[in-house]
Amino acid sequence: MNGFAMTTFSAVLLGVSAEHCWGVVAFVGVYVLLLVWLLLLPARVLDEPPGRPWWKRSRVWAVAIAVIQVLVYLGLG
């Protein structure tokens, strides 16, 4: 390979890498917005009975899943 071809090949690889990075950032951003929305959502909207244990609350599980999604996409994305 000559120098021009190698430079072009490197530029293509860097471009693909940059596009992939923006995709990961966008996907993580959506989950962070979902996480903020879940945390700020009033409890009366969820219509859960008061005094329910934490492991039976839908908000706790939704927040846990959103956090796991963010960590997975940051780590493996």
Mean of the per-residue pLDDT values for the chain?
81
Among all chains, which residue has been given the structure tokens 């409890």?
43
Cβ contact 30:70 at 8 Å: no
Cβ contact 34:66 at 8 Å: yes
Domain ranges of the chain: 21-76
Which band of pLDDT confidence, cut at 50, 70 and 90, is reported for residue 62?
very high
- pLDDT, tens digit (0-9, with 9 covering 90-100), for 1-60: 555 555 555 555 555 556 668 888 888 999 999 999 999 998 888 888 888 898 888 999
- pLDDT, tens digit (0-9, with 9 covering 90-100), for 14-29: 555 566 688 888 889 9
Whole-prediction pTM value?
0.67
H helix runs in the chain, sequence order: 3-40, 43-46, 58-76
Tell me the C-alpha distance between 54 and 73, whole Å: 26
